[in-house]
Amino acid sequence: MAKRIFTLLLVLVLLPVHFVNAADKPMKGIWIATVANLDYPKEGTTNSAQLMKEADEILDNCQQLGFNAVFFQVRPAGDAFYKSNIYPYSQWLTGSQGTAPENGFDPLAYWVDGAHKRGMELHAWINPYRITTNGVSLDSLAINNPARINKNYTIHYTNGNYYYNPAMPEVRQLVIDGVMEIVNNYDVDGIHMDDYFYPGTDIDDDEDYAKYNTAFSNRADWRRNNVDLLVKGIHDSLSGSGVTFGISPSGIWANKDNYPLGSDTGGFESYASIYADTRKWALSGWIDYIAPQIYWEIGHSIADYATLADWWSQTLASSGTKLYIGIGEYRCDDASSSSVWYNGAAIEKQFAYNANIPKIEGEIHFRYGSIMKNSALQTLIKNHNGAAASVQPAAQVPATQAPPVKTEEPTVATTQTPATQAATQAPTAQAATQAPVPVISKDDIVVYLDGKMINFDQKPIIESGRTLVPMRAIFEALGLDVEWNNAKRRITATDDEDTLIIMTIGDPIMTVDGEIVEMDVPPKIVSSRTLVPLRAISEAYNCKVDWDGPNKTIDITSN
């Protein structure tokens, strides 16, 4: 009995963090920017073959880097990278706004199909308010551009550019109609907005304030409510569609010195500067996830990464809204060897920090071009993502089954139907066989179970005098009924004799058939693997544990 229970526990701690997300995997997303031809296409062209070739190259590289979601910018500035009856084709797509690609080519349809064939999700990324860049006039836009047709919908801001007016109900409906056009015509996995809302504070909206304000005593709250109405309107319109809705705002909601609920920071505030109450949207459940762009290093003087990661995690601790982190690889562009960003050094520390915060369920990376011009970044991200081990070819998912991202309360259980087992267990088996095994050096801890060495894809570590280890290598040998409660961060498992095991990430207490077992240090996450204090768990079930200090070897003998 003790041997069986111990074996079950080893499998539990082997479980990768891939099941914390509704898609049975953490978010490993990447932004593909089309504005100003940053990532795609290299230059505007109507040549459909060239557009397809560049899309394939980007998608292939994203797959090889281990990303499981692509955030493709389909509306960079009041335009479209898809066939739309509302917005004209983007100038950055074909070189001239309103000009279509040749041969009826539809970029979004091609990107959706290409992402899904490679086992990745495709999220349509829109900018809701931006209309122009570089100070161009409304009359220079395509004749069918809704901003040119309805000039009264726009604001001419102090930077010389035009934006849709967030105060107008007609504008909100225009944006919502655009969202639903995408959802109704394309098999996208999500709708995504970034960090642009009101363009700033110095807006001449006296007439709008007099016309539309009926409930607010100050203009700032009224402006925030205008954006709230858009976010909630999109949420309500998407309800029941199965399409995810998320927003990636600037990293600081508000600074504590100005607003008591804010973070202990001193940077740009979305709450006061662009009237985006991002905290409210997440806590109200209007968005499925939030991905704050924390583009500062750990230790930054006024916007410390760790401070912000902690603040978002604590703020959303009881919220059902998922928390991803926006990672800024662009900070590594041309970084000198003395910079904290050189070759991704600051980002590697961010990954390690995220692994210790259970609420953080993945990252989205900005952006493709910055990653592809830095080989050190590519290696870092491949290792972090697990590369091939994190990518499930689309052919492995039954054609009649809904995309994994829409699955609720994912399980890995022997009681599942064959089709469901194929979808949930195949990625785990693939990861177990393909995950790289680190080379063992003289300083590494080596673990033997009943005389057989266990290979790890994450090296054991020592913390507070205790050795923490993953035991992934024996996962395939066992069949278990396992369930994950995302709200409580809890794993429950039963064996063939109905023994009930409960463990919680970050909690030093586990229970075995209702009996409490206390561990010296709690389970934690390191590089997407769950690590546990080996001796505490082993000895709790009468397994003999011997430590050979000089040789850094642990021998486990089960009864």
Q: Residue 517: which pLDDT band, with cuts at 50, 70 and 90? A: confident
Q: Residue 534: which pLDDT band, with cuts at 50, 70 and 90? A: low
Q: Give pLDDT, residue 519.
A: 72
- Beta-carbon-side half-sphere exposure of residue 75 (alpha carbons within 13 Å): 28
Q: Which CATH class is domain 2-15+410-557?
A: alpha beta
**In angstroms, rounded to a whole number, what is the distance separating the alpha carbons of residues 384 and 526?**
10
* Number of other CB atoms surrounding residue 103 within 10 Å: 9
Mean pLDDT of the chain: 82
**In angstroms, rounded to a whole number, what is the distance separating the alpha carbons of residues 104 and 475?**
49
Q: Give pLDDT, residue 427.
A: 34
Q: Mean of the pLDDT values across residues 166-195?
A: 98
Report CA-CA distances (Å) from 231 to 173, 281, 288, 309, 349: 11, 8, 12, 23, 33
* Residue 236 buriedness (CB in 10 A; 0-12 / 13-18 / 19+): exposed
Report CA-CA distances (Å) from 16 to 12, 393, 531: 9, 19, 10
Among 255-264, 481-490, 491-500, the range with the most confident prediction by mean pLDDT is: 255-264
Q: Give pLDDT, residue 252.
A: 98
Q: Mean of the pLDDT values across residues 216-237?
A: 98
Beta bridge partner(s), residue 532:
469
List the single range of 2-6, 53-57, 153-157, 266-270 with lowest mean pLDDT: 2-6
Q: Residue 69: which pLDDT band, with cuts at 50, 70 and 90? A: very high
pLDDT of residue 256 exceeding 90, the answer is: yes
Q: Give pLDDT, residue 368.
A: 98
Contacts of 450 (CB under 8 A, 6+ apart): 556, 557, 558
List the single range of 12-26, 420-434, 483-497 with lowest mean pLDDT: 420-434
Q: Residue 432: which pLDDT band, with cuts at 50, 70 and 90? A: very low
Q: Give pLDDT, residue 397.
A: 32
Q: Mean of the pLDDT values across residues 43-50?
A: 98
Please tell me the total number of residues recorded for the chain in this structure. Answer: 559
**In angstroms, rounded to a whole number, what is the distance separating the alpha carbons of residues 305 and 300?**
7
Q: Residue 453: which pLDDT band, with cuts at 50, 70 and 90? A: low
Q: How far apart are the first and last CA of the chain?
A: 8
pLDDT of residue 60 exceeding 60, the answer is: yes
Q: What is the DSSP letter of 454?
A: P
Q: Give pLDDT, residue 505.
A: 74
Task: Compare 252 and 490 and report the one with higher pLDDT.
Answer: 252
How distant is the alpha carbon of residue 114 from its chain centre? 20
Packing angle of the helix pair 345-354, 375-385 (nearest 10 deg): 10
Beta bridge partner(s), residue 27:
362
**In angstroms, rounded to a whole number, what is the distance separating the alpha carbons of residues 478 and 472?**
11
**In angstroms, rounded to a whole number, what is the distance separating the alpha carbons of residues 392 and 387?**
11
pLDDT of residue 428 exceeding 60, the answer is: no
**In angstroms, rounded to a whole number, what is the distance separating the alpha carbons of residues 108 and 187?**
10
Long-range contacts of residues 443-448, Cβ cutoff 8 Å, at least 24 apart: 443/552, 444/552, 445/469, 445/552, 445/553, 445/554, 446/551, 446/552, 446/553, 446/554, 447/534, 447/553, 447/554, 447/556, 448/553, 448/554, 448/555, 448/556
Domain ranges of the chain: 2-15+410-557, 25-406
* Number of other CB atoms surrounding residue 337 within 10 Å: 6
Pull the structure tokens for residue 252.
Answer: 């600081």
Residue 33 and residue 73 in contact, taking contact as beta carbons nearer than 8 Å = yes
Q: Residue 54: which pLDDT band, with cuts at 50, 70 and 90? A: very high
The CATH code for residues 25-406 is 3.20.20.80
Of 125, 120, 104, the C-alpha closest to 52 is 104
Is the previous residue joined to 41 through a cis bond, with omega within 30 degrees of 0? yes
Residue 338 and residue 4 in contact, taking contact as beta carbons nearer than 8 Å = no
Q: Mean of the pLDDT values across residues 366-380?
A: 97
Pull the structure tokens for residue 531.
Answer: 């690590």
Q: Mean of the pLDDT values across residues 12-37?
A: 68
Q: Give pLDDT, residue 508.
A: 76
pLDDT digits (tens, 9 = 90+) for 291-334: 999 999 999 999 999 999 999 999 999 999 999 999 999 999 99
Beta strands of 33-142 (E only): which ranges?
69-75, 121-126
Q: Mean of the pLDDT values across residues 507-528?
A: 72
pLDDT digits (tens, 9 = 90+) for 128-158: 999 999 999 999 999 999 999 999 999 999 9
Q: Residue 523: which pLDDT band, with cuts at 50, 70 and 90? A: confident
Q: Mean of the pLDDT values across residues 180-208?
A: 97
Q: Residue 7: which pLDDT band, with cuts at 50, 70 and 90? A: very low
Contacts of 314 (CB under 8 A, 6+ apart): none
Q: Per the confidence metrics, is the pTM higher than 0.75? A: no
pLDDT digits (tens, 9 = 90+) for 95-121: 999 999 999 999 999 999 999 999 999
Q: Give pLDDT, residue 466.
A: 74
Q: Give pLDDT, residue 18.
A: 32
- Element holding 147 (H helix, E strand): helix 146-149
